[in-house]
């Protein structure tokens, strides 16, 4: 009621504010804001659970938090009358904030957010808070007591609630990247908590309580007892709820981390972790134990038996691992020890000798003696070597034809190992092309504006019968060094043109395909001739082919490269500048070479949006591309956060990366396209 009762019949009821209870209510608001921030953040990450579950939890936590802070705050005013509560109305008032919070979170978590979105969601949330206040007041039953609202303060508190909600939601989503930093998250939560408290105080200031002149006031003490008990139980249950929520988000983050970086069978860090570390740090030495012929053990004893063999081997390796040495399970049959610096190398060598002795003994699995076949490849880093080189050296040892599996430790020797690995690649490439050991995979590129696949990049793969799966980063440099990449590129062009024709005729899929052209082939007249010949043979329109070239290809002969690119463009082929930003120069060439697309290298996106510097750099490269009227493709995008950030930098970007899809075999591309 907004009317002030007549003073002839009623007295204003004076209450007493309890400072500790006010402090408690601010603390609740802060804790709720902190928990909601954590939950909201989970909804943007890849999680075990659906995004909406995190939104519901964030909204529940925010809703209950706001409600209980308001409720406790209301009770900070101790009135000398007996109060009881209407439970149904209390539930209605909690539900109103939860519903408003959910709507607000849901709308503002959509990827396209404008000022209008924040205004509308702020209005919804502010209304929710006000409804909660009035329903909450109605739930407070005080016999004989009536109250009135000050219209001015009521309107002010509503506007304040809307304003605070807008600011809160804006902060929530604009600072979500920074909110991963603990202190920033605490600070944002504190601002939100204080803001909510101010709304509550304004609302309470707008209420005046009255009692009839002849009303018999209660003894303050006993009333305090009731309220204190209520406040304590509300606070304790809220604290418990918030702890549970916080714990669940921590658990989810932990589960995601464990799944991503640890092997579930041995609990050792996995290949992903190994690759991440080995590209980021430099190491003293690397030792890889290879377990040979697990397939026949699988055939003879079954998979569970072999799982136990692997677990046993992992126990054995863990038991010989010296301190400051890391152990990883690389894949089914390989374990890696890494010495973090040169000081650990000697300890690692000694440990490997001990391990070799132990592995010579049969191991006992399910009362059966199993004799393993193992070998250890060991590479020690020299001063100017990258850790990635250590890995290729170890692989060269393991793929050497003379390798035996008799628990030896074989040290990498450049004369023996490198030559022969390169040689075997050279010897085998012809057969690989003829027998489809070499094959092509296609990685989708997705337009952020259209949310659809706009093309693919063709990438080479080699399933080698002896060396196993070979990464193009391993075999292409060898083929280039020995001038075999031109032939392989021709083979690839033929494969791609066949595939484009198949896609177009069978399923009417018109996807442009990008082909990587090695540096020294770009300026060769043979390339254009071959391309034209294949396009004619398979009747392919040039708009469906794109050539990716890197800066290094025109460092030697800039004029030759300009001429070559001009010719490709005249024939209607698109040309992309690959790995932009990693080469020598960039800008001066950009002006001169008539390319159509700029592909920004993965290294610029890796730390976006957390790193402000990287975010600024990528933003300027994108603007540069836009102002030169080039198509811009960002490579190596792996997370939703990166996609969300990139979508805010430019209207028409193309994104290629594991977030959307890894490179796929041709039939899988069609499936992926249908499911996207």
Which pairing describes strands 374-380 and 406-411: parallel, antiparallel, or unpaired? parallel
Size of the site for Ca ion (CB under 5 A): 5
- Output helix, strand, coil percentages for the chain, rounded to the nearest 5: 60, 20, 25
494 binds ligand C2E (CB under 6 A): no
The answer to whether 169 and 122 are in contact (CB under 8 A) is yes
459 lies in the binding site for ligand C2E (CB under 6 A): yes
Strands (DSSP E) found in 593-653: 597-600, 631-635
Contact call for residue 307 and ligand C2E (CB under 6 A): no
> Which of 252, 263, 578, 641 is the binder for Ca ion (CB under 5 A)?
578
Binder to ligand C2E among 192, 195, 470, 492 (CB under 6 A)? 492
Instruction: Choose between 309 and 446: whose C-beta lies nearer to Ca ion.
Output: 446
Among positions 223, 305, 636, 647, the unique one binding ligand C2E when judged by CB under 6 A: 636
Q: Residues 214-247, buried b or exposed e (16+ Cβ, 10 A)? A: ebeeeeeeebbeebeebbeebbeebeebbeebbe
Sign, Cα dihedral of 59, 61, 64, 70 = negative
* Interface map 527-566 toward Ca ion (x if CB under 5 A): ---------------------x------------------
Q: In what order do the strands lie in the sheet with 10-12?
A: 10-12, 207-212, 146-149
Region binding ligand C2E by CB under 6 A among candidate stretches 120-128, 134-142, 453-461, 586-594: 453-461
Task: Kindly tell me which residue out of 128, 518, 609, 625 binds ligand C2E, with binding defined by CB under 6 A.
Answer: 518
For ligand C2E, which residue of 437, 579, 626, 644 counts as binding (CB under 6 A)?
579
- Nearer of residues 252 and 635 to Ca ion, judged by Cβ: 635
State residue 542 phi and psi, 5-degree precision: -60, -20
Q: Which stretch binds ligand C2E (CB under 6 A): 203-211, 373-381, 552-560, 656-664?
A: 656-664
Q: How far is the CB of 280 from ligand C2E (least distance, A)?
A: 13
User: Measured from the CB of residue 480, what is the shortest distance to ligand C2E in angstroms?
Assistant: 8
Site for ligand C2E contains 638 (CB under 6 A) = yes
Roughly what angle, to the nearest 10 degrees, separates helices 271-280 and 387-398? 130
516 binding Ca ion? (CB under 5 A): yes
Q: In sequence order, which residues have a C-beta less than 8 Å from that of residue 94 and are 6 or more positions away?
A: 63, 64, 67, 132
Say whether 338 sits in a helix, a strand or coil.
strand
Our finding on whether 531 is near ligand C2E (CB under 6 A) is no
657 is a site residue for ligand C2E (CB under 6 A): yes
Longest dimension (CA), the chain: 109
Choice between 203 and 578, CB closer to ligand C2E: 578
CA atoms within 13 A on the CB side of 646: 33
- Among residue numbers 635 through 674, which ones bind Ca ion (CB under 5 A)? 635
Distance of CA 483 to the CA centre of its chain: 39
Q: Rule CB under 6 A: is residue 476 a binding residue for ligand C2E? A: yes
287 lines the binding site for ligand C2E (CB under 6 A): no
| Residue of 86, 326, 579, 626 that binds Ca ion (CB under 5 A) | 579
DSSP states of 41-73: HHTTS--SS-HHHHHHHHHHHHHHHHHHHHHHH
Residue 636 binds which entry of Ca ion, ligand C2E, none, with Cβ cut-offs from 5 to 8 Å by kind?
ligand C2E
The answer to whether residue 558 forms part of the interface with ligand C2E (CB under 6 A) is: no
Q: Of the candidates 663, 666, 669, 673, which one interacts with ligand C2E according to CB under 6 A?
A: 663
For residue 126, the partner it binds in Ca ion, ligand C2E, none, with Cβ less than 5 to 8 A by kind, is: none
Cβ proximity of 452 and 446 under 8 Å? yes
| CB 661, min distance to ligand C2E, A | 9
Render the burial of 335-373: b for 16+ CB within 10 Å, e for the rest: bbbbbbeeebbebbbebbeebbeebeeebebeeeebebb
- Measure Cα distances from 82 to 206, 238, 671 in Å: 21, 24, 68
The distance of closest approach from Cβ of residue 433 to ligand C2E in the complex, given in angstroms and rounded to an integer, is 12
Looking up tokens 């030169």 gives 628
203 binds Ca ion (CB under 5 A): no
Work out whether 658 is an interface residue with ligand C2E (CB under 6 A): yes
Tracing tokens 């909204």 back to the chain, one arrives at 59
Q: Which is nearer to ligand C2E, 241 or 527 (CB)?
A: 527
Which residue is it, tokens 């406790």?
72
Beta-strand ranges (E) seen in 164-299 are: 207-212, 285-291
Measured from the CB atom, is 180 or 579 closer to Ca ion? 579
Residues lying near ligand C2E in the complex (CB under 6 A): 443, 458-460, 471-473, 476, 492, 516, 518, 578-579, 635-638, 656-658, 663
Residues lying near Ca ion in the complex (CB under 5 A): 516, 548, 578-579, 635
């Amino acid at each position: 009621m907004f009317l002030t009762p007549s003073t002839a019949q009623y007295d204003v009821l004076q209450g007493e504010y309890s400072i500790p209870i006010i402090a408690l209510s601010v603390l609740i608001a802060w804790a709720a804001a902190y928990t909601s921030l954590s939950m909201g953040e989970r909804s943007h990450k890849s999680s075990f659970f659906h995004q909406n579950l995190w939104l519901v939890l964030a909204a529940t936590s925010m809703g209950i938090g706001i409600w209980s802070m308001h409720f406790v705050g209301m009770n900070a005013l101790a009135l000398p009358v007996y109060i009881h509560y209407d439970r149904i109305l209390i539930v209605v008032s909690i539900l109103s904030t939860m519903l408003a919070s959910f709507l607000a979170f849901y709308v503002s978590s959509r990827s396209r957010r404008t000022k209008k979105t924040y205004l509308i969601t702020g209005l919804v949330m502010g209304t929710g808070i006000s409804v909660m206040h009035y329903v909450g007041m109605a739930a407070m039953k005080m016999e004989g007591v009536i109250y009135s609202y000050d219209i001015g303060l009521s309107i002010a508190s509503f506007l304040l609630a809307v304003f605070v909600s807008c600011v809160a939601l804006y902060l929530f989503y604009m600072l979500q990247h920074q909110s991963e930093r603990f202190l920033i998250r605490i600070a944002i939560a504190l601002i939100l908590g204080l803001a909510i408290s101010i709304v509550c105080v304004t609302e309470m200031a707008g209420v005046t309580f009255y009692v009839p002149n002849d009303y018999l006031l209660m003894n303050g003490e006993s009333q305090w007892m009731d309220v204190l008990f209520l406040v304590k139980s509300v606070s304790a249950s809220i604290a418990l709820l918030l702890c549970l929520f916080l714990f669940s988000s921590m658990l989810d983050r932990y589960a995601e981390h464990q799944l991503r970086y640890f092997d579930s069978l041995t609990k050792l860090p996995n290949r992903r972790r190994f690759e991440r570390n080995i590209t980021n740090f430099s190491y003293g030495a690397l030792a890889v134990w290879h377990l040979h012929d697990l397939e026949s053990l699988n055939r003879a004893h079954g998979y569970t038996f072999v799982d136990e063999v692997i677990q046993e081997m992992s126990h054995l390796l863990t038991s010989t691992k010296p301190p400051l040495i890391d152990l990883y399970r690389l894949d089914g049959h390989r374990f890696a020890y890494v010495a973090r610096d040169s000081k650990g190398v000697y300890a690692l060598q000694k440990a490997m000798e001990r391990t070799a002795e132990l592995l010579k003994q049969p191991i006992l699995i399910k009362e059966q003696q199993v004799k393993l076949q193992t070998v250890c490849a060991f590479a020690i880093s020299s001063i100017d070597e990258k850790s990635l080189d250590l890995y290729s050296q170890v692989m060269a040892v393991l793929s050497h034809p003379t390798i035996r599996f008799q628990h030896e430790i074989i040290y990498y020797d450049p004369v023996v190992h490198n030559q022969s690995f390169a040689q075997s690649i050279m010897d085998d490439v012809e057969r690989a092309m003829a027998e489809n050991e070499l094959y092509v995979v296609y990685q989708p590129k997705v337009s952020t504006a259209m949310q659809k696949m706009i093309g693919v990049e063709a990438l080479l793969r080699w399933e080698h019968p002896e060396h196993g799966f070979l990464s193009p980063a391993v075999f292409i440099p060898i083929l280039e060094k020995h001038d075999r990449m031109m032939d392989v590129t021709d083979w690839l062009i033929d494969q791609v043109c066949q595939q484009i024709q198949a896609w177009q005729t069978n399923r009417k899929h018109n996807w442009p395909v990008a082909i990587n052209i090695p540096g020294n082939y770009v300026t060769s007249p043979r390339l254009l001739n071959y391309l034209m010949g294949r396009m004619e043979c398979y009747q392919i329109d040039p708009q469906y082919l794109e050539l990716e070239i890197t800066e290094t290809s025109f460092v030697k002969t800039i004029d030759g490269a300009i001429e070559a690119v001009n010719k490709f463009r005249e024939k209607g082929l698109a040309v992309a500048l690959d790995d932009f930003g990693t080469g020598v120069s960039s800008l001066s060439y950009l002006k001169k070479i008539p390319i159509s697309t700029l592909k920004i290298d993965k290294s610029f996106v890796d730390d976006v949006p957390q790193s402000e510097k990287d975010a600024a750099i990528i933003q300027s490269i994108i603007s540069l591309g836009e102002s030169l009227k080039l198509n811009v493709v960002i490579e190596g995008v792996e997370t939703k956060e990166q996609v969300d950030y990139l979508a805010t930098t430019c209207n028409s970007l193309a994104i290629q990366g594991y977030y959307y899809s890894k490179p796929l075999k041709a039939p899988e591309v069609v499936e992926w396209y249908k499911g996207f």
